[in-house]
């Protein structure tokens, strides 16, 4: 275990001075996560649930993956022009994925170019986490706001959406507390 992780846990008995990814959850869901981190058992528990990282490593493979999910659930939505991993996304925007509609005026006609950059951290995570963020960003093609209809669409596309989001947030809490990556990259960068 790294010194930073030990210092964070012993100093306050909770991960602090990092984004609180679990802030919106009730204490009865947050506390077990913090307890597992404190007991140094979080990695063991999460690795049992998600034993390996996915094989969607390149931007081209991610494009194909996103298009397959889109074609299955949102065929009538406008096509996506750009999909790829973005290593700076989480650092700059405090986001794990974004969707953007960029207006273009080729030949005097207003059109929209839709893009979905996905945070580079998802390159080294289980497919379930990747699918959760892809479903989230695709749902924005139909529902721009995080409202009831948005989350119903997410759950329609991925029935375990809420559990996957919680597990991802718990993992990010663990990492920000100094925990080591659980699915290290197998690629030389």
The predicted model gives 1-29 an average pLDDT of 61
Tens of pLDDT, residues 142-177:
898 899 999 999 999 999 999 999 999 999 999 988
Listing DSSP states for 45-103 in one string gives: HHHHHS-S--S--SHHHHHHHHHHHHHHH-TTSPPPSEEEEETTHHHHHS-SB--EEEE
Compute the distance between CA of residue 62 and CA of residue 74 in angstroms, rounded to an integer: 17
Tens of pLDDT, residues 89-116:
664 344 454 554 555 555 666 566 778 8
| 181: helix, strand or coil | coil
Statement: residue 5 has pLDDT above 70: no
| 10: helix, strand or coil | helix
Q: Range with the lowest mean pLDDT among 8-22, 26-40, 144-158?
A: 8-22
Listing DSSP states for 131-168 in one string gives: HHHHHHHHHHHH--S-SHHHHHHHHHH-TTHHHHHHHH
Number of CB atoms found within 10 A of residue 87's CB: 12
Which tokens go with 103? 């207006």
How many Cα neighbours within 13 Å face the side chain of 111? 12
């Amino acid at each position: 275990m790294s010194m930073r992780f030990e210092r964070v846990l012993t100093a306050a008995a909770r991960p602090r001075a990092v984004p609180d990814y679990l802030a919106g959850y009730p204490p009865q869901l947050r506390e077990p996560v913090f307890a597992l981190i404190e007991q140094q058992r979080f990695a063991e528990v999460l690795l049992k649930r998600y034993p390996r990282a996915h094989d969607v490593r390149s931007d081209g493979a991610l494009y194909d993956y996103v298009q397959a999910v889109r074609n299955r659930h949102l065929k009538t939505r406008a096509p996506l022009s750009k999909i790829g991993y973005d290593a700076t996304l989480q650092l700059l925007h405090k986001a794990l994925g974004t969707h953007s509609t960029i207006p273009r005026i080729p030949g005097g006609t207003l059109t929209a170019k839709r893009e979905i950059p996905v945070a580079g951290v998802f390159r080294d995570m289980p497919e379930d986490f990747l699918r959760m963020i892809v479903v989230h960003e695709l749902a924005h093609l139909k529902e721009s706001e995080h409202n009831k209809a948005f989350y119903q669409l997410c759950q329609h596309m991925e029935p375990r959406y809420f559990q996957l989001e919680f597990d991802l947030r718990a993992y990010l809490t663990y990492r920000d507390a100094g925990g080591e990556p659980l699915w290290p990259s197998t690629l030389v960068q």
